[in-house]
Amino acid sequence: MLPEASGPAGYRYLESSPACWAVYGEVLAREYSDAHCGELHRMTVDAFAAQHPGRPSPKSSQSVACHLISLYLIFEHGYSMQQATKALGAAVAKGKATGGYIWLAPPSFAGCLTVADVQKATNADDHLRAVRAWAESVWKAWSAHHGTIREWAGR
């Protein structure tokens, strides 16, 4: 979806393209430089990680599981960004204590919003709307695994 680019492609277990990683960096820079844009930073990180699941490995499985647990708690239980961040930390610790998370077969992200949609925002309010819509579309894309995510979150 993005033009070819050279450069870093993010964390080894996320497997994003260099162009996508660069756009993500621009979105993060906006969030770090404007507190209003950063209000939904937790969702930005969760959506990006869940939309770039990588390949089956313990690290990739943990990343996807924990970021989806965070999105689940935000969208289905109304957690604040701070509560979701705390829960994500607990999910990582729980996964390490219990031998990790299983690999979830990634969905098709066709028709989903992406970080490039967030990049197009022209002001802070548009940015927040775009982040929320993107994160919701990513959460919905993983609907085949919602039962597993709910179970993991319940632990």
What does the pLDDT read at residue 151? 93
What does the pLDDT read at residue 35? 94
The values of phi and psi at residue 11, to 5°, are -70, 145
What does the pLDDT read at residue 97? 86
The model's pLDDT over 58-102, given as tens digits with 9 standing for 90+, comes to 999 999 999 999 999 999 999 999 999 999 999 989 888 888 899
| Average pLDDT of the segment spanning 19-44 | 94
| Model confidence, pTM | 0.91
Q: Where are the domains of the chain?
A: 18-154
What is the C-alpha separation between 120 and 40, in angstroms, rounded?
A: 16
- Measuring CA to CA, how many Å separate 93 from each of 81, 89, 155? 19, 6, 11
| Average pLDDT of the segment spanning 122-132 | 97
What does the pLDDT read at residue 6? 54
What does the pLDDT read at residue 20? 87
What does the pLDDT read at residue 3? 59
Average pLDDT, the chain: 91
Share of residues in the chain with pLDDT > 70 (%): 92
